[in-house]
Amino acid sequence: MIDTMLKHRTIRKYKNENISDGDLEKILEAGIRASTTGNMQLYSIVVTRDEEMKEKLAPSHFNQAMVKNAPVTLTFCADFNRFNKWCELRNAEPGYDNFLSFYTASVDAILVAQNVTLAAEEMGFGICYLGTTNYMAQQIIDTLNLPKGVVPVTTITLGVPDEEPELVDRLPLDGVVHFEEYQDYTSDDIDRIYEEKEALPSTKQFLEENNKESLAQVFTDVRYTKTNNVAFSNALLDVLKKQGFMNQ
């Protein structure tokens, strides 16, 4: 399993091969063995295999090709709807209409998603996380008919890989791990931690393509701009209000 984790790759191209019901069930069973807050399992997983549903879902992910090409798309949702209904049927009054509850359920959903990823890759399948889930939450809610108390948190496409891309770079371990207490970074630390990433051939390509002087500028000025972050933040806050997580 550790070897599988160390070889993790994002797969965006998939072979035209289905995933059997048995394999998918095994992956999902491994997924729901993930840790969960108070064993409440505050998540749901929506499985999309139908071609027509993939067509409907694709615009929510900026029409990225893998949403339609992968045999399976999994949408992981923070879900208090089920738990609240159980409480009410058992004469217990739920008090989960607040941001903390959404955050708790989101953690549960992400833990399950990562378990699914590990199980799938161990079985030889490939996955791709779709960050667009957070940007287009309302559209996904509408497409998947998610009720109040349910918010999509992340999405994974799943299938048989039709590519073997190079491993993506990662920061050095000592750049992200702190022992006992957080040790703030000096300018020298930042230079050292990002030195290898900034020296990659792909970085040079990014700078040329975007006419920028540093990789940091590619992130701040092109990929994840303040304007977009604020707009998507406001949209997500509106979603949380509509779905019942911002009443207190």
For residue range 107-132, list pLDDT tens digits in order.
999 999 999 999 999 999 999 999 99
Contact 232, 215 (CB under 8 A): no
193 within a domain of the structure (yes/no):
no
221 within a domain of the structure (yes/no):
no
Under the banding of pLDDT at 50, 70 and 90, the label for residue 198 is very high
Structural domain that includes position 89: 2-165
In this predicted structure, what is the pLDDT of residue 222?
95
CB-based burial, 81-97: b 16+ in 10 Å, e otherwise: bbbbeeeeeeeeeeebb
Q: Residue 244 and residue 232: Cα distance in Å, rounded?
A: 18
Task: Read off the CATH number of the domain in which 98 is found.
Answer: 3.40.109.10
Instruction: Return the structure tokens found at 145.
Output: 């008919």
114 within a domain of the structure (yes/no):
yes
What is the total count of domains within the chain? 1
- The per-residue pLDDT for range 21-76, each reduced to its tens digit, is 999 999 999 999 999 999 999 999 999 999 999 999 999 999 999 999 999 999 99
In this predicted structure, what is the pLDDT of residue 247?
81
Instruction: Return the structure tokens found at 30.
Output: 């491994």
Phi, psi dihedrals of residue 235, rounded to the nearest 5°: -65, -40
149 within a domain of the structure (yes/no):
yes
Burial category of 73 from C-beta neighbours within 10 Å (exposed 0-12, middle 13-18, buried 19 and up): buried
245 within a domain of the structure (yes/no):
no
pTM of the predicted model, to two decimals?
A: 0.95
210 within a domain of the structure (yes/no):
no
Average the pLDDT over 158-177 and give the result: 96
In this predicted structure, what is the pLDDT of residue 248?
64
244 within a domain of the structure (yes/no):
no
235 within a domain of the structure (yes/no):
no
Q: Nearest to residue 28, comparing CAs of 111, 161, 128, 119?
A: 119
